[in-house]
Amino acid sequence: MNWYRKYPLFASALTLCGLLVLGEGWLIYDRFAASRAAQKKLVEREAELLAMKDLVPVPTRPVATAIEADLARARRAVAAMRVELSGRGPAAERLAGAKVPTARTEAYFDLATFVEKTRELAKKNDVEIRPEAARLGFALYANEGPKEDRIASAFHQRQVVQFVLESLIEARPRSLFSVQRERALNKSEKAALLADQAAAAAAASGGVAPEPPPEGTAGPGSPPEPESPELFVIDPRVTARAYAYIDTTPVRVVFTGQTAVLRSFLNKLASFELPVLVREVEVDRASAEEIAAAAVVPAEEGTVADAPADTPPAPSVVLSVVPKAPAATTSGKPLPKVPVAIPIVSKPLSKFTVTVEYLDLVAAPASETPAADAQPTP
C-alpha cells in the first residue's frame, strides 16, 4: 500500500490495464461461444439443405409461388363450401334469424307452439300422427321447458326436427310412428364429448390428441336428460362428425307409406335447403296393426271399396273388372255400365326408418380464417 501511495499514477494505470485485460478476455470468450453456436447452426442448415435436395417438388421460388396460389384457391373453395353448407331459401333464413329462448318458460312455449303447428300441418295433409309420436321427439318437455344450460341445444334440435317433419309431411305419408333425436347436451357435456372425439381421432391417425377444453369451464351443469324412447345414439360408423371440423344434429323418423312417399321425402332433402344428409334408410313391410291404423283413409272412387260385395273377380291375375255405377244423362236416361279395371293386388304399405344428420360446420380459428379478398401471391 505504501508504493500505491507513493506512486498513485502508476498504480491507477496498472489497475486500468488489469480491467482492460479482463474485459478483453470476456469478449474473446463471448465471441468464441457465438462462433461455436453459429458453426453448429451452419451444420444443421447444411444438413437440412442436403435433405431438401431429394424433395419433390423441388423447393424453388417458382414452386413456392405455385403452392401459395394453390393455397389461396383452396381457401376460396373452403369459403364457398361454407356458404353452400349454410343453406338457402326460407328454411335457412328462419334458422339463421331465430332467437334462442333465454328462460325455461319461453323455451317450453316455443316447443308447444312447434308441436301444435306441426299437428295442424299433418291434419291438413291427411297424415296421422300416432300417439307414440304425439310430442314429436320432445315428450321430456311436455310439462316444463329444458334446463337453462340445455335450452340452446334443445332449441337447435327443434329447428332441425321442424325442417325434417315439414319435408316429410309434404310428401304425405300415411302415418308418423316415431320421431327420435339425440340427448340435448350442456357446455360441460359437449366439452367432454369433444375430448372423447379428439382422443378417438388421434388414436385412428396415430398422432397426438389436441388439447381438450379445460374441465370445469362451464360449471357442473344440470343432471343429464332421463332415458326416453325418443332419444337415440347414431352409429359412429355412419355419422359425418369430424372433430374440430363438423358437428351434427341427428334425427330419426319412422313412418308408413308407399315408395313414392320415401322418394318425394328424399328428393326434398336433396334440394339442400338446409345441409341435411341421409345416413340410413331401413324399409320393412308394414305389420297388420300398422296397416289397420293407416286404413282409416277414405276409399277413392274406382277402388275395391266401390265394388259390390257379391261381384266375382274377372279371370285375370292382374286386373279385376268391376261395373261402375251408371250415371244419369241430361235426358234422365242412365248410361250403360262401364267396366273399370282395378288391380287385384293393391300397392303395399311399407314402414320406413330414415336417419338424417344436420351438418353444423365448426368455426375455424381466427388465425386460420382467410380474408374474403385473398389473392394468389404473384
Q: Please tell me the distance from the alpha carbon of residue 113 to that of residue 7, in angstroms, as a whole number.
A: 106
For the range 300-304, what are the long-range contacts, defined as Cβ-Cβ under 8 Å and sequence gap of 24 or more? 302/340, 302/342, 303/342, 304/342, 304/346
From 91-95, 151-155, 245-249, the region with the lowest mean pLDDT: 91-95
- The proportion of the chain whose per-residue pLDDT surpasses 90, expressed as a percent, equals 29
Helix or strand run (H / E) with residue 249: strand 246-257
Q: Please tell me the distance from the alpha carbon of residue 170 to that of residue 102, in angstroms, as a whole number.
A: 32
Q: Which amino acid is at 138?
A: F
| Nearest alpha-carbon partner for 249 in 162, 352, 365 | 162
Read off the pLDDT of residues 62-108 as tens digits, 9 standing for 90 and up. Answer: 888 888 899 899 888 888 877 777 777 777 788 778 889 989 999 99
Read off the pLDDT of residues 304-348 as tens digits, 9 standing for 90 and up. Answer: 344 444 444 444 344 444 455 555 555 556 556 555 555 555 567
Place of cell 386460420: 368
Read off the pLDDT of residues 103-131 as tens digits, 9 standing for 90 and up. Answer: 999 999 999 999 999 999 999 999 999 99
Phi, psi values for residue 250, rounded to 5°: -85, 145
For 50-62, what is the mean pLDDT?
73
CA 93 to chain CA mean position, Å: 17
Cα–Cα separations (whole angstroms), residue 362 to 126, 128, 184: 39, 37, 18
The overall average pLDDT reported for the chain is 77
Contacts of 278 (CB under 8 A, 6+ apart): 266, 269, 354, 355, 356
Cα–Cα separations (whole angstroms), residue 357 to 272, 276, 299: 12, 5, 36
359-231-161 Cα angle (round to 5)? 45
Read off the pLDDT of residues 8-19 as tens digits, 9 standing for 90 and up. Answer: 777 788 788 888
Place of cell 339425440: 182
Phi, psi values for residue 360, rounded to 5°: -125, 105
